[in-house]
Amino acid sequence: MSRSLAALVIGNSKYKKAGKLKNPANDAADMAVALAGCGFTVTTLIDGTHKQMDKALLDFKASLKKTDVGLFFFAGHGVQIAGENYLAAVDVKVTDEAEAKHSSLALNRVIDMMETSDTKTDIIILDACRNNPWARAWRGDDARGLAPVYAPRGTLIAYATSPGQLASDGKGRNGAYTAALLEHLATPDVSVEAMFKRVRNTLSAATAQKQISWEHTSLAGEFYFNLSVAQRITDYGPAALSDDLFEIDTKKKSHKIISELKSLTWPRQNPAMAGITSGMIGKVAKDTLFVMGRNIYQASTGNSNSATSFIHDFNAKTAGAPIVSRKAILDGMLFEIFFDKTGALRDEPKFRRFNEVFELQRFAALKSSFDFLAACLLPYAGRYYAIPGKGHEVVADVRLGKKNNEAIVEVFVGGQQVLRIDDDEPGGWGDADDGKIHYRKRTKKQVEEWLSEQLIVPERLLKISFSHPVAADEILHLPMGWTCRLPA
């Protein structure tokens, strides 16, 4: 199941006429990361002026064309004027209510824009129920918090607290409401309504029931911020996607082969591979073939020459088998690279035979397997320069040092310098006792292989340019403890 998700996230802290709020900028930055992790394409605006907020909303409207789900998040000052809600820009004019209205973003405008878009589901989240710091300067009543609003069909509007009540700026990095959101947002397989109930419970406990969040919903269908792969992918059953749940029946030849492949002993794995023939493949259920594919890849990374040979000669080894059966085995091999035995995304892919398997992407008849992988990885798009399986080329420009011509100094992808200290790996600049960068000597080919793994892009699709010509046998200096990975 593929979903198109877009979000506009705004956090205003540095108000010119009300002093600085501590949390909203942090709230927006952290929500942007969380939403990106759930598959949203996120636009973030920090400390937006009225003009910037207006433009951001117009751009957001354009981005919602052919989008399934739109989400708007605002943290900062929100005020109620004559029963309507306004989200204050950092340069809001506060002489009177009229000026404030015309220099703020009207919540009704956001609602109307999202209602008339192509989206099926719209979510508006407001951590903006703080006190009105300008109330004394205005003639009108000091209406507390934000007013309730009508939620059009397919829309959920979530407030940090109940209508007419106030929420305070938090004591930590995040406001209490956003902190609760961040705790529950990415919980797998929890519907959006159930997620907000969890947020309400957490928020209530954190504030001694002084702040109770509230939602108005007219959603017509179910929405989940984070669907586990077993819920998103229906091609195979849960026991295949989480193959630690797959029950082995050794009376079946195919199950016996899987059992031997799971042995982690190549003297048992190699003979088992001999039993995988085109005739046998055509008689086996696709869930079993998927699990078999997973374990063929696992065996190949553990030095089973027969499993590795099967990958290299996949077309020949499976020739004559039904297309759906061949697909199930290759689907399993690709899935095993990126997902663990519970069906969760690996922190780091299994790279040992990564490039060998992705060589099969050259064959048009096998395209559906790579489409399957791309669908599995789509919610994690923010972790990749290009979603594996899509077949997109990635260009990397490597700059070598001037004083030390062999030292890799910078790596540019998409115009951005991406080489950085890996905080999770010792040996980088921050961990070196002498304060110097230490290097590993690597050939040009080894550097290219390293970049393929770092960028998670098959070598066939990775185009690398060096700042000056590098001979095939030339030794380059690769900084130890540095990475090109996108931050998780």
User: What is the per-residue pLDDT for 143?
Assistant: 55
Last-in-domain residue among 383, 407, 424 = 383
> Do 254 and 347 belong to one domain?
yes
Is residue 268 pLDDT above 50, yes or no? yes
Is residue 156 pLDDT above 50, yes or no? yes
Please give the torsion angle defined by the CA atoms of residues 278, 283, 295 and 349, in that order, rounded to the nearest 10 degrees: 80
Residue 406's Cβ-side half-sphere holds a number of Cα atoms within 13 Å equal to 14
**Residue range 226-250: average pLDDT?**
86
Evaluate whether residue 175 is within a structural domain.
yes
Q: What is the pLDDT of residues 21-59, one digit of tens each?
A: 889 999 999 999 999 888 899 999 999 999 999 999 999
> Do 179 and 309 belong to one domain?
no
User: What is the per-residue pLDDT for 136?
Assistant: 56
Is residue 430 pLDDT above 50, yes or no? no
Evaluate whether residue 28 is within a structural domain.
yes
The residues pairing with 191 across neighbouring beta strands, listed in sequence order, are 224
Question: Domain of 415?
Answer: 394-483
Q: Which amino acid is at 423?
A: D
Torsional class of 209: left (φ above 0), alpha (ψ -120 to 50), beta (otherwise): left
Evaluate whether residue 389 is within a structural domain.
no
The residues pairing with 60 across neighbouring beta strands, listed in sequence order, are none
Q: What is the pLDDT of residues 245-254, one digit of tens each?
A: 899 998 999 9
Evaluate whether residue 488 is within a structural domain.
no
Rounded CA-CA distance 199/182 in Å is: 9
Pull the structure tokens for residue 269: 């794995």
> Do 204 and 254 belong to one domain?
no
Is residue 73 pLDDT above 60, yes or no? yes
> Do 50 and 28 belong to one domain?
yes
Higher pLDDT pick, 146 / 155: 155
Higher pLDDT pick, 280 / 168: 280
User: What is the per-residue pLDDT for 435?
Assistant: 66
Is residue 105 pLDDT above 60, yes or no? yes
Evaluate whether residue 114 is within a structural domain.
yes
Evaluate whether residue 388 is within a structural domain.
no
Q: How far is CA 402 from the centre of its chain?
A: 37
Residue 80's Cβ-side half-sphere holds a number of Cα atoms within 13 Å equal to 17
**Residue range 251-272: average pLDDT?**
94
> Do 235 and 218 belong to one domain?
no
Evaluate whether residue 311 is within a structural domain.
yes
Overall domain count for the chain: 3
> Do 135 and 251 belong to one domain?
no
> Do 253 and 218 belong to one domain?
no
> Do 204 and 82 belong to one domain?
yes
> Do 283 and 265 belong to one domain?
yes
Model pTM?
A: 0.69
Evaluate whether residue 41 is within a structural domain.
yes
Rounded CA-CA distance 187/48 in Å is: 30
Sole residue written with tokens 């995988």? 276
> Do 208 and 107 belong to one domain?
yes
Using DSSP, state whether 205 is helix, strand or coil.
Answer: helix
> Do 219 and 293 belong to one domain?
no
Q: Which of 140-149, 159-168, 172-181, 408-417 is least confident? A: 140-149
Last-in-domain residue among 186, 205, 227 = 227
Last-in-domain residue among 202, 227, 252 = 227
Higher pLDDT pick, 115 / 487: 115
CATH number of the domain that 37 lies in?
A: 3.40.50.1460
Is residue 374 pLDDT above 70, yes or no? yes
**Residue range 320-336: average pLDDT?**
97
> Do 262 and 350 belong to one domain?
yes
